[in-house]
Structure 1
Amino acid sequence: MKVGLFIPCYINQLYPKVGIATLELLEKLGVEVYYPTGQTCCGQPLGNSGYEEDAKGACQVFVENFKEYDYIVGPSGSCIHHIKEHFDILEQTDAVINVRNNSYELCEFIVKVLGKTNLGASFPHKVGLHKSCHGLRGLKLGSCSERMDDYYSTEEALLKEVKGLELMSLTRKDECCGFGGTFSVFEEAISVKMGKDRIQDHLDNGVEVITGADHSCLMHLDGLLNRNNHPLRVMHIAEILNHSI
């Protein structure tokens, strides 16, 4: 299979180590990975702000860059959700439909497409998992507490196989962190309070490292951690799954 690696713009600019970890992890799993150098933003920020018409150009550029691949894989649940659910603003050509149907968040691709959970990683720390709203309720990467479904979690299935990692139980394990993209700009006070609540839950349960599959949420939490001098750090799940000692 030919996999097109999609690295969201904020990860490319601010967290390049996450992109590198994603690439290395896929290569360790024997995946033939390609990186289209012409890729840009998927258009999510404009779409989330109500400017869908202005986002069409970015969406179309994305399709042109990734239309030749069997799968498109990226380390961001929110961006992948945008591609799958909001590229309906484009004319639904074969290329657009294929890109939408074959785009996968990293953990989802590893578990559902490759059929793997034990990746040979080692990470001897107490870890708290933040389940982002787009990944959980949009991509269905796990069951939600408000529904009476059988419990499952794609991310937990991977983390539980990491040697030495202790996955800590949280009191409100699928509550929003308050980031919400531009929500954190226009509703700053609410966003900050929600983020602080999530951090306190991790602190109360003895977490050392907060992880997740969406670094936009982790970026929000990391900013609050740094400003309040909390003894916690954040790591994208790709960095943990790629970690060995």
Structure 2
Amino acid sequence: MLQIPFEPYIFGYRVNIHLILEYLAFFIGFRYYLYLRKNQKDTISTSNRLSIIIGATVGAFLGSRIVGILENPSLQLSPQNILVLLNTKTIMGGLFGGLLGVELCKKIIGEKSSSGDLFTLPIIAGIFTGRIGCLLSGINEFTYGKSTDFFLAMDLGDQIPRHPLALYELIFLLFLFFVLKKHISARDLPDGTVFRIFMISYFSFRFGIEFLKPNVFFVAGLSTIQWLCLVCILYYYKTVFQLLHYAGKKVHLL
């Protein structure tokens, strides 16, 4: 039976499986993006697409660190904690920071075309890979849930049955991947819509699942991640209303 946290030894050295899968997530995501771009027509020029990737990378780096620090603002600023602060990051801040970085970059270079759809499936693949590392890391990563007697509860390393939030997310991401892949293949949505649906869906999911997380810092009863989720959903309010209107029509037809 697999022991969590999973900390294998290779040639006598303990391997940080989460770190390995984190780097692998970037590799898989980028290679998948290159594959998709090679096999479908991209309306954005190579130079502009490169600028957009740079904007996304810088925005994601800054966003992941800023939101990561805000998740635990009580951490004392001291020489001992500098490395901890610099290494504190979250995918949620990375996604939203990357979004802002792309939008700013597009304004600078004058690019009008939607650029997100091509990134959507590679992003999901990357997050999925990284979340496997989070699950295998157990309580060594703050992606575990509260104690529970739910039938999916797992011992993540402290002999306490907990919500395996990383597992819940893996299931959700798998479902979301195939739903969005179907729409991309059918080309039945306007450019940019698939990426917006991904952002709204993922941030809505994370808003809800945060209630199962043993957070200690709240503002008006919500965690930092939950406030960021609300900001993202508000950012896409037009798409949210369009999706609700579309869902309402479907229900009415039933």
What interval of TM-score do these two structures reach, taking the shorter chain for normalisation?
under 0.3
TM superposition score normalised by structure 1: 0.27
Higher normalized helix content (fraction of residues): 2
TM superposition score normalised by structure 2: 0.26
